[in-house]
Structure 1
Amino acid sequence: MVKIIVSTFALLSINTFAIEHEVKGVIDARLISVSDDSTSYLEGGYGKYNYSTDTQLSLSQLGLQYAVKWENNVALHVVANAYLDGVNDGVGLTEAFISYKSLPNQTGWRIKSKAGIFYPKISLENIATAWSTPYTLTSSSLNNWVGEELRHSGVQISLDKLGKFTKSSHNFSLDLALFQNNDTTGAMLSWHGWTIGNRQTLLHEKLVVQPFAARESTLSAQAANSDPFLELDNRWGAHLTSNWKYSNYLTVSGGIYDNNADASIVKSGQYTWDTNFEHLGIKYNFNKQLQFLMQYMTGSTFMQSPYGDKVVENDFNNGFILLRYLQDHNQYALRVEEFEVKDLDATVGDNNNEYGKSITLSYRYRLNKRSFFHTEYNWINSSRPARWYLKQDIDLIENQFQLAFRHYF
């Protein structure tokens, strides 16, 4: 898919005059302290943060977002991210796609499309440069999973209705994405559960699979790492979303996701997972200072043997609410979350049950239009029986403190 995008870009560069280049970026440097005895899920542990127990300095994100736009309303978008923490360093692409946006007609209807590798239209948090969030230093557990295991490799067609052309305060959109390369979606959610952080999986990366007893028996074919952006069954998945916006006050979005995977395939240590979910989001501006944001997701994921037996089967639910208050140079944010995974299979040595709650308190001070000091406290109380496989406490309370400097350019 990346090769196709690059080839198309070269063709457009030869035949069409590029009229505008746009470069945006974000630098996020942090001091992080995780105060409890836990190992990060990124290192193969059952800790809920992307940092392990320690105090450390980190380049938490160096994001670069490039776009070139032509006169025919075609644009190329490339997003790259770098992370440097001494444990899980990485540099690479997170998105790369070509987009088209038609001019609205007299009644406000227009068509948009994109093709390539891009994020599904789910998050109401991660709306800033390079899929960062302006509200907090960490993404919610719901959107952290989106950043870890979800990416569309395919096409998306959108139909918009812009209200201003008919003097209406209502705007509507309907989006349909057809995608591949998400056959393993659900593996990490099952095997390490919900997590909180800001680490986006790079397109070339693989993820460490947690240790559990069934990996020595029933699930011994699973490789030590999961490849989140992989095609195994040559089938297309679909994601349908809709959005309604009323003036500058209210936004309501929702969608249905189905990766349409053949869950009986295993190749080179990678299983296919049949993953389906629905999601709902609401954003409401009480005034210019106070904003309310809510998202909810519910779904299921499973993989099975070649004989049709469900080896791993889980239902999952996640929801959060976020309040943000702006006062002069100050921003205050409170996020409360609840999440769970329900293990429905009978496989011995693979208990994926989980239940947890989280609270995030965040404060940001604006130095100027593009630079910010940001501090944050995260608290997670979770119960996960799989910790017993490593002789750890099933119930764990984890605390994280962060101090950051962010600069957008």
Structure 2
Amino acid sequence: MLSRCIFIVSFCCISFHAFSDTRLLLRGSVISADNADTFQTNGVSHQRFENNAVALSQAVLAYDKVLSDDWQFHVVANGYSDGEQKLGVSQLYTQYRPLTASTIKPEIKLGFFYPAISAENTDMGWLSPHFLSNSAINSWIGEELRTFGVEASLRQNGRQVRRDWSWKVVGSLFKGNDTTGTLLSWRGFALHDRQSLNDDRVKFTPIPGVVSEEGIGAPAYSEPFREIDTKTGYYGGLHLAHKRRSELRYYYYDNRANPLIFDPDRIYAWRTRFHALTLRHMRNRNVTLFGQALIGDTLMGENIVNNDFYAAYIAASYTHEAHQFSTRLDWYQVIDNDNTTDDPNNSRGEAITVNYTYAMSSQIALSAEWQVNRGRQENLRFLNASSVSSENFHENLFQLAITYRID
């Protein structure tokens, strides 16, 4: 498979090049969570971890190599103590940035990478420098959305032309995101920091109307980067930045999947489209404000599953010397528009996340994070007693983490 080739090539490159171009991050976490099985073990919880546990929550190896004046190579390998695939690649691509005297500069990416939608995942390996867990939007992007394709862009730096504004326009063609929308529909939004790897599988609760032969007959898992219908998807974006203090990004994404196609494992293609808006503002050297909004829809079959989805968050981070305080408020919703009675997909929720991080040194940081996630998910009634209250969920998660990095 192409994904296995990506895995082999990436580790060969790490092995045969200078270690000075490599960055390493290790994070161990002590977790106290509600006594509910996580979605990763086909449970109902929207959290990555369950009960009380000690886990390797992140092991990230990021390698960057300058191949020439114009070409660079990037790869990110991840290791986890949980999930289906414990070790693999989350990004692998080459980047063409030619040296040119023109004020408008081109750039091309080719490989396996994220669209630059996120306002919070700006640390190495697409981690957040502010939180241990991602927002609902970026948890979903980390799970279901990665492109294997080509991205081309044009950009202009305001400083070079003595203006306050910088800009960038982006366009991409890709394959391998045909199942995007599965988790939003059959599990709903989640909040965590685990990124799906190159050949990964993400489980969800086996809803009877989904997994039974009398129903849809799908498996209780998704393989996020599987190619099913051979069609090419696309996205386009615009970045605007003012004096390097404020930035706005807009993206439109359409995987163009054929919703009538499924493979021999009965993994379906989902036609998924969305608009994404990102805002980030550095009020001063200590305070950063940021947020995102997402609106889209997904379709599977001849109106078997037809959902709209919405999500947004606002966040703030304050840094003083070695101390950082961050907080985030999330809202999210999936609206069921089809008439498949045994597969209700309505869900909604809100979450609050509070984080404190203390940088003991340039290499070691201690973090404490508390999160409350609550809402209502209609298909939970098939797994609990038949009552309205059985559709409600209320999840608490507390984490203590130590992060070690070599840059």
Taking the aligned partners of 1:21 and 1:312, their CA distance within structure 2 comes to 49
Instruction: Confirm whether residue 196 of structure 1 aligns to residue 191 of structure 2.
Output: yes
- 1:262 matched to 2:258: yes
After TM superposition, the structure 1 = structure 2 runs for residues 8-407 of structure 1, keeping only pairs within 5 Å, are 22-34=21-33, 36-52=34-50, 54-85=51-82, 90-106=86-102, 108-214=103-209, 215-217=211-213, 219-268=215-264, 269-304=266-301, 309-391=302-384, 393-407=390-404
How many Å apart are 1:358 and its aligned residue? Answer: 0.3
TM-score of the pair, normalised by structure 2: 0.92
Q: Quote the offset at 1:117 in angstroms.
A: 0.6
Superposition pairs of residues 2-13 of structure 1, within 5 angstroms: none
Q: What is the CA-CA distance between 1:7 and the residue it aligns to?
A: 11
Q: SS state of the match for residue 380, structure 2?
A: helix
Structure 1 portions without partners, runs of 5+: 13-17
Over 3 Å counting, the alpha-carbon distance change for 1:5 and 1:396 in structure 2 is: closer
CA distance in 2, matches of 1:341, 1:259: 19
After superposition, the Cα gap between the structure-2 partners of 1:234 and 1:323, relative to the gap in structure 1 and judged at 3 Å, is: same
Q: Aligned AA for 1:28? A: R
| Pairwise CA distance, 1:46 | 2.1
- The answer on whether the counterparts of 1:211 and 1:389 sit within 8 Å (CA) in structure 2 is no
In 1, the alpha carbon distance for the partners of 2:24 and 2:189 equals 28
Q: Residue type of the partner of 1:407?
A: Y
Displacement of 1:213: 2.2
TM-score scaled by length of structure 1: 0.92
Q: Supply the distance in 1 between the matched residues of 2:90 and 2:7 (Cα, whole angstroms).
A: 15
* Inter-partner Cα distance in structure 2 for 1:222 and 1:6: 28
| Unaligned ranges ≥5, structure 2 | none
CA distance in 1, matches of 2:313, 2:405: 27
The alpha carbon displacement at 1:248 in A equals: 2.4
Cα pair 2:7 2:198 within 8 Å, conserved: no
SS in 2 for 1:355: strand
Question: Retained in 2: the 8 A contact 1:116–1:153?
Answer: yes
Conserved? CA contact 1:135–1:333, under 8 Å: yes
CA contact (8 A) 2:3 2:199 kept: no
| Deviation sequence 1:348-396 (CA, Å, 0-9, x none) | 2211101101000100001112221000000011111211111162112
- 1:204-259 deviation per Cα after TM superposition (whole angstroms, max 9, x unaligned): 11122421121214544313432111111111000101101111210100110000
Task: Give the partner amino acid of 1:43.
Answer: T
Structural RMSD (CA): 2.2
Note the C-alpha offset of 1:3. 7.9
Paired with 2:251 and 2:85, the residues of 1 have a C-alpha distance of 33
Give the CA deviation at 1:155: 0.3
Query: Which one is further off, 388-397 or 294-303?
Result: 388-397
Worse-matched range after superposition: 352-361 or 19-28? 19-28
How many residues are aligned here? Answer: 396
